[in-house]
Structures are given as structure tokens and as C-alpha cells.
């Protein structure tokens, strides 16, 4: 299956789409960093985990769309035609689905990495700041649950109708929904009553993110188990 995984990654990553979305991420991310993050959120430094988290959460809609588009590689009409051949092989549909899901996850992780690297370059160039270790927690907290949920829910939906994925892409776009816009980074520091507070999360937020993560994993597992054979 390693070979399949390799080929699926190659298909996703060496595509025009992937290069295109990386260019979009670089442009959009640089604009966010220069216009919003540079001011810092809630009295903290632009390079604080809070401001960085705010930047990450502003990039999530783009990653969300990117992740779901990567999934459309496996739900498109062309893919349905390919299924005529691949479904006649002895490999279990659930295993095959899981391998492809992992490839989509890898693609999404690479997109997330681009977002992170962009911030690192920005912090270095603007503030000569290189203490990256403090950014690990917000990165994990922001990206992992959201993107796992995006992929899990997207994978789940893609099994029913491919067009549901496109509808699902719109979810994080309207700002008023605020579901995934990470307002926690702007609000939480103010509630801690300390200047430049260390990064921490409220129990409620941790639970919410865990629920998001577990829901993503559960949907992923359900989708893998129920991979359509017929």
C-alpha cells in the first residue's frame, strides 16, 4: 500500500491545482501577515502564540477549501470511471480508501506547512524573531482538529454526493458564522488578566477542539468502513 500512497501523493501534489493553491496561500497569507498580524492581537506581540494563532485561523478557510478540493480528486466523475478498474482488484475498498485519505491528508499537511513557513519567514524578516518552539502548540491546536474535521467530514460527504463537498467548502467563508475563525485567539488573552500571557486554552475550547478532532476521526473511520463496493 506504500506504493499506492506514493502514487496518490504524486497525483495530488504534482498537479496544477496544488501549485495554484500554494501560490494563492502565499499571496493571501503575506497580505494577512502584513495587514493584520503585524498589529498583534489583544495587546500581544505579532509573534506571540496568540497573534500567530489568529493568523492561522484566518488562513483556515483557504486550507479548508484546499483540503476539500484535494478530496474531490477522489470523488470526481473521472474517478468514478477509474473505479471500474480499481474495484475489480483484490484490495479492500476500506484500505484503499484509507490510503487515499492519507494522501489527501499529506497534501493538506503540506499546504499547512506552507502557511507555517510563511509566518516563520515573516517573523524573521520583520522582527528578527526565531523562537519557533512557542508556535507549536497553537499550530497543533488550530490546524489539527480543524483540518482533520475538514477531511473527515469531507470524506464522509463525498461518499454520498460529490457536490456536497463543494457546498461544504462554503462553511468557513462567511465571517459571521465564526465557527472556525479562531476568535479564541483574540478573546482568550484578555480574559487571563495578565500581560503577554503564556499560551493556554480554556477547558471549553479544548473540549470543543477535541470534539472536532474526534468527530473528524470518527467520520473518517465510518467513511472508510462504509466505502462503497457496489
Among 9, 62, 103, 147, binds another protein (CB under 8 A): 62
Q: How far apart are CA 172 and CA 178, in angstroms?
A: 8
- In the numeric block, which cell numbers belong to residue 48? 506571540
Contact assessment for residue 73 and residue 137, using Cβ atoms and an 8 Å cutoff:
no
Residue with cell 506504500: 2
What residues numbered 127-186 form the site for another protein, per CB under 8 A? 127, 166, 169, 173-176
Among 21, 67, 114, 118, binds another protein (CB under 8 A): 21
Q: How far apart are CA 191 and CA 112, in angstroms?
A: 29
Q: Please, what is the minimum distance in Å from the beta carbon of residue 212 to another protein?
A: 22
What residues numbered 199-228 form the site for another protein, per CB under 8 A? none
Of 84 and 131, CB closest to another protein: 84
Of 126 and 218, CB closest to another protein: 126
Other CB atoms closer than 10 Å to residue 127's CB: what's the count?
12
Of 197 and 216, CB closest to another protein: 197
DSSP 146-204: HHHHHHHHHHHHHHH-HHHHHHHHTTT-SGGG-SSS-THHHHHHHHTTSSSPPP---HH
Of 142 and 209, CB closest to another protein: 142
Q: How far apart are CA 162 and CA 216, in angstroms?
A: 18
Q: Residue 49: which of 193, 197, 182 has the closest Cα?
A: 197
Among 49, 79, 98, 150, binds another protein (CB under 8 A): 79
What residues numbered 106-125 form the site for another protein, per CB under 8 A? none
Of 24 and 110, CB closest to another protein: 24
Q: Please, what is the minimum distance in Å from the beta carbon of residue 62 to another protein?
A: 7
Asked if 191 interacts with another protein (CB under 8 A), we say: no
60-84 b/e with 16+ CB inside 10 Å = b?
bbbbbbbbbbbbbbbbeeeeeeeee
Of 74 and 143, CB closest to another protein: 74
- Residues binding another protein (CB under 8 A): 1, 3-4, 7, 10-11, 14-17, 20-21, 24, 27-28, 31-32, 35-36, 38-40, 43-46, 58, 61-62, 65-66, 69, 72, 77-82, 84-91, 96, 126-127, 166, 169, 173-176, 195-196, 229-230
Amino acid at each position: 500500500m506504500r506504493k499506492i500512497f506514493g502514487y496518490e501523493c504524486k497525483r495530488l501534489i504534482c498537479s496544477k491545482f496544488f501549485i495554484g493553491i500554494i501560490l494563492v496561500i502565499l499571496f493571501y497569507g503575506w497580505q494577512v501577515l502584513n495587514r493584520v498580524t503585524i498589529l498583534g492581537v489583544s495587546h500581544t506581540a505579532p509573534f506571540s502564540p496568540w497573534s500567530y494563532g489568529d493568523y492561522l485561523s484566518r488562513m483556515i478557510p483557504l486550507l479548508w477549501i484546499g483540503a476539500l478540493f484535494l478530496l474531490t480528486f477522489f470523488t470526481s466523475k473521472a474517478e468514478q470511471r477509474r473505479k471500474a478498474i480499481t474495484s475489480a482488484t483484490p484490495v479492500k475498498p476500506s484500505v484503499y480508501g484509507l490510503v487515499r485519505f492519507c494522501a489527501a491528508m499529506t497534501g493538506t499537511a503540506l499546504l499547512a506547512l506552507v502557511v507555517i513557513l510563511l509566518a516563520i519567514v515573516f517573523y524573521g524578516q520583520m522582527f528578527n524573531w526565531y523562537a519557533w518552539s512557542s508556535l507549536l502548540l497553537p499550530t497543533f491546536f488550530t490546524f489539527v482538529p480543524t483540518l482533520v474535521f475538514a477531511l473527515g467530514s469531507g470524506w464522509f460527504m463525498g461518499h454520498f454526493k460529490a457536490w456536497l463537498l463543494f457546498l461544504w467548502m462554503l462553511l468557513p467563508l462567511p465571517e459571521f458564522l465564526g465557527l472556525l475563525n479562531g476568535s479564541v485567539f483574540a478573546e482568550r488573552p484578555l480574559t487571563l488578566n495578565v500581560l503577554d500571557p503564556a499560551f493556554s486554552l480554556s477547558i471549553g475550547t479544548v473540549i470543543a477542539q477535541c470534539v472536532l478532532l474526534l468527530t473528524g476521526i470518527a467520520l473518517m473511520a465510518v467513511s472508510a468502513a462504509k466505502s462503497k463496493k457496489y
